[in-house]
Amino acid sequence: MSDFIPVNEPVIGEREKELVLECLNTGWISSEGPFVSQFEEAFSRRVGRKHGVACANGTAALELAVNALRLGPGDEVILPTFTIISCAAVIVRAGAIPVVVDADPDTWNMVPELVAAAITPRTAAIMVVHIYGLPVDMDPILELADRRQLAVIEDAAELIGGTYKGRPCGSFGHISTFSFYPNKHITTGEGGMVVTDDPALAERCRSLRNLCFQPKQRFVHEELGWNYRMTNLQAALGLAQLERLEQTLIRKREIGLAYQQAFMNLESIQRPVDTTSYADNLYWVYGILLKDSQASAKTLMQKLALAGIGTRPFFFPIHLQPVFSGMTLFQDVEAPVAEEIARRGLYLPSGLALNALQQSRVIEELIVHG
Ligand SMILES: *Cc1c(COP(=O)(O)O)cnc(C)c1O
């Protein structure tokens, strides 16, 4: 269908082409090129951090974070159950124990009180994940982490450029991570970054990213790392996209507010929270919940697909993932909210290339079928 409206389409500008072409013309296409460190410096400065380590994707960034903090066997890491598999995968792969908490029914973010209740003597870290455009309520979590001396990993992939009480998302974790997948506010095709203020953690991430090569004895390794390097071509895209970030954030919020306005009187759906005491929603994606407890997002998604509109379901809870069923993890997890919103939630086309005409069509179809 030629007039299919995809759930996301990125915008690639002239500046991106110019910088990528510069890589091609100069031959600097690997991670050795100059744009990588320029992107690391400019991006980490933008999110209020001292150090940035660019890498292959957002999942790799989480993997670097978990391993730089030396989380491993015996360590429990608290994270939301309503998140992407990447968050749990890197904890399990490091041999540590993921402990999940439920989501808030309105903001869909992890609930600080539940984080407090999940702490045990073995808790080593809290992995905070901002969901869909609203940040997690950070203050109670930071206070708790400080009091119990826990490491904080902040996954800010969905809130590039966002703030909590005026401070940039990505500035709260001992290590914070980002993804530059094409649906994120900045894209490098595939890509990610770890940011921190701790020079030792940054150095460890750099080493783990680059196979733990040693400066003095190349090809002699005392630890195993990964090749998670970002290429100069990707960093060129990132630098150009970063120049436009403020416009991007304005446009994302505009798209979100247009949906909010259009669905104000649509009784069948629960709309996302627009504003809290600590942040405005940036509408990284515009998610909706079907209010009818019998309803399933799947049926509505099929109807919208037939009408030429792409959607995505909400995250499937981590504690219900079949891959973990044989691992004696998540024994007595109670997370009714995450289970409900996973079944009744979906998100609508919210990418930067969505134009007003397309958005009107999405709105009309949702009002008919929703
Ligand atoms: C996109 C995303 C990731 C994964 O990033 P990739 O670059 O696709 O590996 C991790 N965490 C969150 C919250 C994300 O939204």
SS (H, E, C) 121-155: CCEEEEEEECECCECCCHHHHHHHHHHHCCEEEEE
Cα separation, 166 vs 99, in Å, equals 30
CA-CA-CA-CA dihedral for 32, 38, 40, 42, to nearest 10: -170
Pure H helices in 9-70: 14-26, 34-46, 58-68
DSSP 296-359: -HHHHHHHHHHTTB--EEPPPPGGG-GGGTTTT-STT---HHHHHHHHHEEEE---TT--HHHH
One domain, residues 266 and 365: yes
Write the residue with the smallest CA distance to atom 13 of ligand 1: 157
**Span 210-244, pLDDT tens digits:** 999 998 999 999 999 999 999 999 999 999 999 99
Q: Are residues 23 and 158 in the same domain?
A: yes
For strands 345-348 and 312-313, give the pairing.
antiparallel
Looking at the domain assignment, is residue 4 inside a domain?
Answer: no
Compute, in angstroms, the gap from residue 179 CA to the centroid of ligand 1.
Answer: 5
Determine the distance separating the centroid of ligand 1 and the alpha carbon of 183, expressed in angstroms. 10
| Residue among 7, 83, 85, 86 whose CB has most ligand 1 atoms within 8 A, to mutate | 86
Domain termination site, one of 243, 261, 279 = 243
Q: Which two tokens stand for residue 149?
A: 């001396």
Residue 2: is its pLDDT beyond 90?
Answer: no
* CB of 184 closer than 8 Å to CB of 160: yes
- Which of 213, 243, 273 lies at the terminal end of a domain, its last residue? 243
Ligand 1 centre to CA of 86 (Å) is 7
pLDDT band at 188 (very low <50, low <70, confident <90, very high): very high
Q: Residue of the nearest CA to atom 12 in ligand 1?
A: 157
Atom 3 of ligand 1: nearest residue by CA position: 58
For residue 83 the two structure tokens come to 């998140």
Whether pTM exceeds 0.95: yes
Structural domain for 363, as ranges: 245-369
Query: For the chain, what percent of residues have pLDDT higher than 70?
Result: 99
Q: 295 pLDDT band (50/70/90 cuts)?
A: confident
Number of structural domains the chain divides into: 2
C-beta separation of 284 from 255 below 8 A:
no
Residue pair 9/354 in contact (Cβ under 8 Å)? The answer is yes
Residue with tokens 């929603």: 281
Catalytic residue among 17, 50, 184, 216: 184
Q: Among the three residues 243, 268, 284, which one is the final residue of a domain in this structure?
A: 243
Active site residue 184: yes
The type of residue at 282 is L
- Kindly state whether residues 139 and 23 are assigned to the same domain: yes
What is the Cα–Cα distance from 33 to 76, expressed in whole angstroms? Answer: 39
Query: Residue of the nearest CA to atom 4 in ligand 1?
Result: 58
Measure 32 CA to ligand 1 centroid, in angstroms. Answer: 25
Angle ∠(111,116,121) on CA atoms, nearest 5: 145
